């Protein structure tokens, strides 16, 4: 854990939002810890202690500030490059907390000893795995108290405290107030209709919201997803229940406004974490752009459109199906096919404007006759094989610990090659360095002929090549709009060394 104290100090004194969530400040006298953007009067430097994570501040005996609400800060940036084990562990904790078996089980899943895991956590995050999990749980409970009207008994369960008694005790110990007293302090008192929850999820600026929206809009599966008047919305299903969420930008607060309608509040933590991943809210632009600047073409685009994120997905299986459909055809063509699959095989859903279906499950697609909706027989077989592998448990998109093993298994399926695997790694696993180098849009953006040349060219953008890909697609789309559109449909890929597995990828 290497915090540059001078940088921290400058960021704190200027309340620089780009550093929000990258470190926390413990104030010695008040024993409170704050975000760098805290509106409270700044403490004297000699009274400040700096921590890389909220959990580290908590372990050192500091309480979360009630004004700047550390539970609202953007997440810890990706730790890739410092420790793969830590970033994998953080991903698993984000997916399921530490409820099922604690540190021992977590360490076992990661293939390391629990003492080693503890040491790694202390070195990189300044806190033990238990402290990290407990801080996340406490922060989420605090968010539910402040931002929802859920009864406290439900919050206790939704945030993983197990019992109301433990929840009350946990909150009192940290905040010196009861949950009810904390709720009275909260400014947000607007009650949402039943089963609806409104959250503000913060990011570190800049965030290129329009770029995110354009990307999702071009690929929105009709009936399952819709983009309208600056709002992205989609249907979701989880543990046999259905619902939807919508996301829009709250520019003035460096946050996304998320409205979730779902009948089971116990799933809220999971849903919120998935939305955070889908909209890439943990990204640390300052770190990313310093790598992107090493390439002149990407640097120029990043200068014009700062803050582009890598769009994730709601469901890895659904995204993989989309990727298979997108092999060798335009984004528009693949989107139309996905819509037909959803309306033919998906469950009907009564949602707001544009939402009519849930995306079909693996069980349904394993048996689906996809030729009837216009999918070629080879691709239909690939989809069925993937669906069968998911049904049998051979492939699971949840709790992926080792991306390389996961992607190798994915590539065992006939019709899934390097392009599809890298695209899935980029958008479903959130691998910041994934890069589908055989993509025609990417090659065209830099006027290169082979994936190998492209890989050499973006070498300097590591470990952030997924972001480089987003900028290259943007470059390609800008030149596409200038080029004759007529070549689009008749375009035949002629990429040396490419297989059937790549995309024409005419991104927006």
> Would you name the residues annotated as active-site residues?
34, 439
If one asks whether residue 67 binds Zn ion (CB under 5 A), the answer comes out as: yes
Q: Which is nearer to Zn ion, 54 or 236 (CB)?
A: 54
Q: What element of type H or E holds 33? A: strand 32-34
As measured in angstroms, the least distance from the Cβ of 89 to Zn ion is 28
d(CA 142, CA 398): 26
Q: Which is nearer to Zn ion, 34 or 368 (CB)?
A: 34
As measured in angstroms, the least distance from the Cβ of 53 to Zn ion is 16
As measured in angstroms, the least distance from the Cβ of 40 to Zn ion is 5
If one asks whether residue 92 binds Zn ion (CB under 5 A), the answer comes out as: no
d(CA 205, CA 251): 10
Largest CA distance in the chain: 71
DSSP collapsed to 3 states, 469-506: HHHHHHHHHHHHHHCCCCHHHHCCCCCCCCCCCCECCC
Q: Which is nearer to Zn ion, 38 or 329 (CB)?
A: 38
Size of interface with Zn ion, in residues (CB under 5 A): 5
* Only segment of 26-34, 271-279, 282-290, 469-477 that touches Zn ion (CB under 5 A): 26-34
* Only segment of 46-54, 58-66, 98-106, 436-444 that touches Zn ion (CB under 5 A): 58-66
As measured in angstroms, the least distance from the Cβ of 155 to Zn ion is 23
**φ, ψ for residue 498, nearest 5 deg:** -85, 155
* Only segment of 33-41, 98-106, 349-357, 400-408 that touches Zn ion (CB under 5 A): 33-41
d(CA 235, CA 191): 23
Please check whether residue 342 is in contact with residue 360, taking contact to mean a CB–CB distance below 8 angstroms: yes
* Only segment of 59-67, 103-111, 360-368, 435-443 that touches Zn ion (CB under 5 A): 59-67
Residue among 52, 56, 58, 68 that touches Zn ion (CB under 5 A): 68
* Only segment of 63-71, 118-126, 212-220, 381-389 that touches Zn ion (CB under 5 A): 63-71
**φ, ψ for residue 458, nearest 5 deg:** -95, 10
Q: Which is nearer to Zn ion, 34 or 329 (CB)?
A: 34
Considering only CA atoms, which of 206, 204, 186 is closest in space to residue 73?
204
DSSP-derived secondary structure letter, 357: B
As measured in angstroms, the least distance from the Cβ of 355 to Zn ion is 39
As measured in angstroms, the least distance from the Cβ of 290 to Zn ion is 28
Taking the CA atoms of residue 210, residue 338, residue 497 and residue 415 in that order, the dihedral angle to the nearest 10 degrees is 140
If one asks whether residue 34 binds Zn ion (CB under 5 A), the answer comes out as: yes
Q: Which is nearer to Zn ion, 71 or 439 (CB)?
A: 71
As measured in angstroms, the least distance from the Cβ of 316 to Zn ion is 37
Considering only CA atoms, which of 437, 468, 467, 431 is closest in space to residue 455?
437
DSSP states of 96-139 as a string? HTTTTTHHHHHHHHHTS-HHHHHHHHHHHHSS-HHHHHHHHHHH
**φ, ψ for residue 261, nearest 5 deg:** -115, 115
d(CA 389, CA 413): 9
d(CA 503, CA 328): 4
If one asks whether residue 281 binds Zn ion (CB under 5 A), the answer comes out as: no
DSSP collapsed to 3 states, 175-235: HCCCHHHHHHHCCCCCCCCCCEEEEEEECCCCCCHHHHHHHHHHHCCCECEEEECCEEEEE
What's the start-to-end Cα distance of the chain, in Å?
39
If one asks whether residue 38 binds Zn ion (CB under 5 A), the answer comes out as: yes
* Only segment of 36-44, 244-252, 332-340, 458-466 that touches Zn ion (CB under 5 A): 36-44
Q: Which is nearer to Zn ion, 65 or 268 (CB)?
A: 65
If one asks whether residue 65 binds Zn ion (CB under 5 A), the answer comes out as: yes
What is the x/- site pattern for Zn ion, positions 237-276, by CB under 5 A? ----------------------------------------
Q: Which is nearer to Zn ion, 76 or 420 (CB)?
A: 76
Considering only CA atoms, which of 16, 14, 3, 13 is closest in space to residue 43?
13
As measured in angstroms, the least distance from the Cβ of 240 to Zn ion is 41
Q: Which is nearer to Zn ion, 32 or 320 (CB)?
A: 32
Q: Where do contacts with Zn ion occur on this chain (CB under 5 A)?
A: 34, 38, 65, 67-68
């Amino acid at each position: 854990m290497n915090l540059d104290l001078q940088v921290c100090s400058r960021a704190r004194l200027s309340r620089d939002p780009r550093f929000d969530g990258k470190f926390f400040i413990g104030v010695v006298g008040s024993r409170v810890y704050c975000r760098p953007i805290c509106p409270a009067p700044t403490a004297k430097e000699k009274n400040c202690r700096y921590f890389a994570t909220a959990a580290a501040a908590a372990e050192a005996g500091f309480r979360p500030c009630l004004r700047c609400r550390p539970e609202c800060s953007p997440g810890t940036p990706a730790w890739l490059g410092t420790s793969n084990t830590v970033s994998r562990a953080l991903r698993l904790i984000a997916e399921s907390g530490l409820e099922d078996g604690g540190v021992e089980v977590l360490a076992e899943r990661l293939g390391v000893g629990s003492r080693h895991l503890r040491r790694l956590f202390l070195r990189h995050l300044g806190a033990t795995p238990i402290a990290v999990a407990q801080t996340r749980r406490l922060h989420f409970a605090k968010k539910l108290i402040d931002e929802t009207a859920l009864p406290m008994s439900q919050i206790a369960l939704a945030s993983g405290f197990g019992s109301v008694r433990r929840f009350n005790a946990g909150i009192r110990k940290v905040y010196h107030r009861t949950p009810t007293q904390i709720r009275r302090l909260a400014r947000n008192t607007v009650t949402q209709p039943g089963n609806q929850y409104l959250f503000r999820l913060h990011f570190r600026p800049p965030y290129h919201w329009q770029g995110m929206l354009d990307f999702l809009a071009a690929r929105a599966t009709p009936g399952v997803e819709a983009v309208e008047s600056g709002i992205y919305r989609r249907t979701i299903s989880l543990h046999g229940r259905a619902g939807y969420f919508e996301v829009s930008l709250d520019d003035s607060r460096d946050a996304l406004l998320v409205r979730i309608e779902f009948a089971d509040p116990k799933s809220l933590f999971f849903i919120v974490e998935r939305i955070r991943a889908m909209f890439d809210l943990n990204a640390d632009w300052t770190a990313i752009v310093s790598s992107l600047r090493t390439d002149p073409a990407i640097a120029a685009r990043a200068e014009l459109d700062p803050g582009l994120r890598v769009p994730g997905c709601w469901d890895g299986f659904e995204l993989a199906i989309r990727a298979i459909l997108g092999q060798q055809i335009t984004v528009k063509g693949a989107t139309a096919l996905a819509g037909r699959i959803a309306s033919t095989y998906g469950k009907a859903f009564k949602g707001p404007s544009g939402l009519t279906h849930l995306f079909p499950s693996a069980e349904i697609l394993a048996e689906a006759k996809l030729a009837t909706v216009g999918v070629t027989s080879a691709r239909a077989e690939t989809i069925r094989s993937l669906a069968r592998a998911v049904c049998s448990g051979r492939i699971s998109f949840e709790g992926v610990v080792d991306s390389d093993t996961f992607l190798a298994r994915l590539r065992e399926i006939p019709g899934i090659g390097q392009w599809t695997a890298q695209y899935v790694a980029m958008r479903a696993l959130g691998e910041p360095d994934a890069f589908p180098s055989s993509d025609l849009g990417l090659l065209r953006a830099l006027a290169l002929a082979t994936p190998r040349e492209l890989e050499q060219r973006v070498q300097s953008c590591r470990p952030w090549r997924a972001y480089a890909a987003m900028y290259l697609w943007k470059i390609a789309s800008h030149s596409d709009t200038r080029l004759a559109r007529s070549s689009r449909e008749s375009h035949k890929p002629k990429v040396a060394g490419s297989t059937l597995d790549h995309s024409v990828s005419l991104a927006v």
